[in-house]
Structure 1
Amino acid sequence: MCASLDRVNRDFVWGEGDTRSRLHLVAWDKMVLPKSQGGAGLRSIQKANMVMLAKSGWRLIKEKDALWTQVVKTKYGSSKENLDLLRPVQGSSFTWKSLAAASTLLRSGCAWNIKNGTATKFWLDPWILQGPLKDMALEEIPAERLEEMVADLTNEDGMWCTERFAGLLPMDIQDKITSAAVDKFSTEKDTLFWTLSSNGKFSTKTAYESLLPLGTDSDAKFWKLIWSLPIPERVRCFVWLTCLGKLATNALRFSRKCAPSPNCARCNGQRETIIHILRDCPPASFLWTRHVPSNKQQRFFTSTTEDWLRLNLADVEEVSQGIPWSTFFSIAVWIIWKNRNDLCFKGISSTLTAPSLAHSVMAKVRLWHAAWIAPSLLPGLRSAPPSRVMADISWDPPRGGWMKLNLDGASNGNPGLAGAGGVLRDDSGRWISGFVAKVGEASAALAELWAFHYGLDIAWKSGCRALLVESDSQLAIQLINDRHDPVHPYATLLSSIRRRISRDWLVRISHVYREGNRVADWLSKHSLVYPYGVHELAHPPAGLLSILRDDVQGVAFQRRVVIPSSSPPLSFPPL
């Protein structure tokens, strides 16, 4: 059935009917690749079917209390849980065998999201990687240790006992482990999450992409450039075929026994290849000689086909009236090709003279470019850029009776080696306490959240009961304010932060620009030289004294900022 549906798709794409057969210029395996990999972005029905089966398997695992889940589990007598549920059962139906076949795809993208760590095996279950840690070990793991749970390798505060695995795993794996949060006080069980999506939920898009071969970044940039050109979609498709070398020239048609001769229908002298018909044939050559600047013509007329296409499609230099060269070039080669087809298949030769061809190209280019930019000129559709003004940014002390906690996280690579830092000060700017924390390998957002986790603890231990928290990460503030599904990769750390906020105290969280957060910024970067863990600072480091003095004196720094709207500032009320 899947093969039949793919065949219908192929015939539709190339315009094949019951009575007429057409050339299939691009192999179907190439057509179903993403556009960023040189494909047409179509979907293989076989792969799409497997993805939908995997989605049903994911629902079967996650919707444990659903009626349909209970019926299916009872019918097949399965008492297993999670991924072990999707195992083939002897004598089972075609439906169950299909779900079991999709378990391979699920296993490749699933891992355990750690809550309290009591249900996940440290060495055997996939949790920090999409495979067991024992496969990455530098030496054989003793048999008695293979059954250790994640919780067994953390202390009562959820800090990692790094000495338990320091000599057994590569350093980059150790850094990934130490950035993971374990909440010993949580009553939630460890749960499976989908590692390929940012929110931890299964998505058919990421599952389908995982079945496709990986492309190179350099090729991806070129293909994305083609599909983002400001030209009609049919011209983009033509340019895409040209760059694949799949235009139905006489040379290609002759090789497939669809043409009596491989020679050009215009000049009848040379083999009709892509570079000949689009650049070197006399009418095309006349057009390019008139419009290509004289200082670029030598390279233009001597480049290979691939270099010629890449060079011109990436050229954004304006030709006239705001028209980029890439737009002019794309439309020009398309019209050259259309006129060639009129000659070959309709016998129309009057439009193939060089002067008329040049006139036709310029008329089309101007018309389509005007149509392309027209929506942006309409007042109702024009998006006005946000209003920005120059403003003086400085650290502002809290009002009397309150303390201010400034926080920041730093990631050297995003993700990369990460740390966090923060400082607690009173209404006179006096240093109450501070901290630096090295968290391992993490993204910038995760490092910012670790800053909240450690900073709130230090503020509470310092006796603060009315706290203003400032961070220059709007993403971290949004993550804390929003409610997320338990499968979210940061769900454990976010729950821990919210529990700290819900203590018996007043906490207000707001965003601050980096110029008003210089102390925390310095501490977060400085944290990377410390060993793993949180280190409380009773006194400020010597390198911070000048910045602290600037903050107390109200030294301001200019920055272009967005004019705030009438919406209230971000805050997190007590729970």
Structure 2
Amino acid sequence: MNSDDVWIDDCDSLREMANRIEENIAWNVGDGNQVRFWKDIWVHGQGRLIDNVLIPPPENIVDMPVNFFSTLSGGWDWSKIDPYVSRDVHSSIEASTPPVQGRNDCVRWRRMHDGNFSIRSAYECLSAGNGATRSTFWSRIWKWPVHERIRSFIWLLAHGKILTNSHRLHRNLTNNASCPRCGREEETVLHAIRDCNVIEWNSKIHAGNDLSENWQSTFGVTCWYVWKNRNLLVFENHTPNMQDLFFQILYMVVIECDSEVALELVENGTTENHPCSGLVHQIRSLVDRNWDINLVHAFREANQTADLMAKMSHTLSEGLHVFCYPHKDLGYILTADLYGPLVPRVCVC
């Protein structure tokens, strides 16, 4: 073997490794300007769409970006897609988040669930391998059964970091450390949340060691509303009344989901290169609107009705469907729920 043969073998090996790496690089669609619809990998569970078409798309659209195939209303323009793809590919595209203006396209590493590249996973890819002390007090805060924004507030409260007038005075942000509600004492953290005479905590209720979820939720939400109403008075000169309380309760929403992984993604967010970042971004943009949402995990056995309705949607035409009466397929599930039979569950220890 001469030097030319060695060079050719080295080039072939490098080309093969480059191809393996390229096969594991995919795109997360943001605004869809950089990602080629047919020639790049961006649909979950699919490779390049051009390799799995019924008939080749015309030359004038084969290099077009993803946003070319979306509508002005933010959906997919199926008239430009369906003539060339199978029903399975259609379903995969339908499950992908359409382009959203203001978000950049970014690459992700397909061999990692979170989309982040790692040397170890790259080595396993090239070698054809398969791969893939907090204190009790602070841990308890992050497990507090309340909305994420209230949990963050409790964390600041426990650290004494909420911006009371006492703190503002120390930072030279004000020359008056007194409480804006009673005007009698210095506004420390404890005064703002507990000791101010404008606040009426029911001292007849002794929580003691009662750390049930109901008590924890009540305590956390109460502290948060005490501070929120204080800020409404300070910054907007608004004193809340019972009507305000009614609308605050109206905008309290509990969302149940039987996937703990999905809840964690929605609560904590994802990096831009995570495979689900587009969908998670849209969900979080809805969650962050002007309401208080509590995301709750529900066991699958308790979620069978919603689960069946979600599966049923795949057999219906696109658009809004209203059921005035329970669907016939729900009969067994609703009857079982009425009589409350025990459902076995396998727990992995």
TM-score class, shorter-chain normalisation, is 0.5 to 0.7
The two structures have a TM-score, normalised by structure 2, of 0.53
Equivalence for 1:178: 94
Q: Give the % identical residues.
A: 24
User: Letter of the aligned partner of 1:136 in structure 2?
Assistant: N
Instruction: Measure the CA separation in 2 of the matches of 1:195 and 1:149.
Output: 21
Q: Does 1:199 align with 2:114?
A: yes
Q: How does 1:267-416 map to 2 (within 5 A)?
A: none
SS at match of 1:515: helix
User: Letter of the aligned partner of 1:500 in structure 2?
Assistant: L
Q: Does 1:485 align with 2:271?
A: yes
Cα drift, residue 471 of structure 1? 1.6
Instruction: Measure the CA separation in 2 of the matches of 1:203 and 1:481.
Output: 25
Kept after mapping to 1: 8 A contact 2:109/2:115: yes
Let me know the Cα RMSD of the aligned residues. Answer: 3.6
Point out the structure with the larger strand share: 1
SS at match of 1:193: strand
Q: Does 1:539 align with 2:324?
A: yes
Q: How does 1:108-127 map to 2 (within 5 A)?
A: 108-127=23-42
Kept after mapping to 1: 8 A contact 2:30/2:104: yes
Instruction: Measure the CA separation in 2 of the matches of 1:121 and 1:475.
Output: 30
Cα drift, residue 510 of structure 1? 0.6
Cα drift, residue 171 of structure 1? 3.0
Q: Does 1:210 align with 2:128?
A: no
Kept after mapping to 2: 8 A contact 1:158/1:181: no
User: Letter of the aligned partner of 1:556 in structure 2?
Assistant: G
Kept after mapping to 1: 8 A contact 2:109/2:117: yes
Equivalence for 1:256: none
Cα drift, residue 144 of structure 1? 1.6
Instruction: Measure the CA separation in 2 of the matches of 1:515 and 1:157.
Output: 37
User: Letter of the aligned partner of 1:535 in structure 2?
Assistant: L
Compared CA separation, residues 111 and 529, structure 1 to 2 (3 A):
same
Equivalence for 2:187: none
Of 310, 314, 330, which residue of structure 2 is paired with 1:528?
Answer: 314
User: Letter of the aligned partner of 1:537 in structure 2?
Assistant: V
Of 120, 123, 137, which residue of structure 1 is paired with 2:53?
Answer: 137
Compared CA separation, residues 509 and 494, structure 1 to 2 (3 A):
same
Of 475, 481, 504, which residue of structure 1 is paired with 2:261?
Answer: 475
SS at match of 1:145: coil
Cα drift, residue 513 of structure 1? 2.1
Cα drift, residue 494 of structure 1? 0.5
Compared CA separation, residues 516 and 178, structure 1 to 2 (3 A):
same
Instruction: Say which structure, 1 or 2, has more relative contact order (CA 8 Å, 6+ apart).
Output: 2
User: Letter of the aligned partner of 2:106 in structure 1?
Assistant: T
Instruction: Measure the CA separation in 1 of the matches of 2:331 and 2:21.
Output: 54
Equivalence for 1:149: 65
Cα drift, residue 165 of structure 1? 1.6
SS at match of 1:525: helix
Kept after mapping to 2: 8 A contact 1:110/1:130: no
Q: Across the two proteins, how many residue pairs are aligned to each other?
A: 217
Q: How does 1:427-442 map to 2 (within 5 A)?
A: none
Of structures 1 and 2, the larger Rg is shown by 1
Cα drift, residue 527 of structure 1? 2.3
User: Letter of the aligned partner of 2:118 in structure 1?
Assistant: S
Kept after mapping to 2: 8 A contact 1:157/1:184: no
Instruction: Measure the CA separation in 2 of the matches of 1:487 and 1:214.
Output: 23
Compared CA separation, residues 170 and 184, structure 1 to 2 (3 A):
same
Cα drift, residue 473 of structure 1? 1.6
Structure 2 regions of 5+ residues with no counterpart? 1-9, 131-249
Kept after mapping to 2: 8 A contact 1:112/1:125: yes
Kept after mapping to 2: 8 A contact 1:113/1:487: yes
Compared CA separation, residues 510 and 534, structure 1 to 2 (3 A):
farther
Instruction: Measure the CA separation in 2 of the matches of 1:103 and 1:212.
Output: 13
SS at match of 1:508: strand
The two structures have a TM-score, normalised by structure 1, of 0.33
Q: Deviations over 1:442-478 (max 9, x none)?
A: xxxxxxxxxxxxxxxxxxxxxx733211122222112
Instruction: Measure the CA separation in 2 of the matches of 1:139 and 1:161.
Output: 18
Cα drift, residue 560 of structure 1? 5.5
Instruction: Measure the CA separation in 2 of the matches of 1:119 and 1:182.
Output: 14
SS at match of 2:98: coil
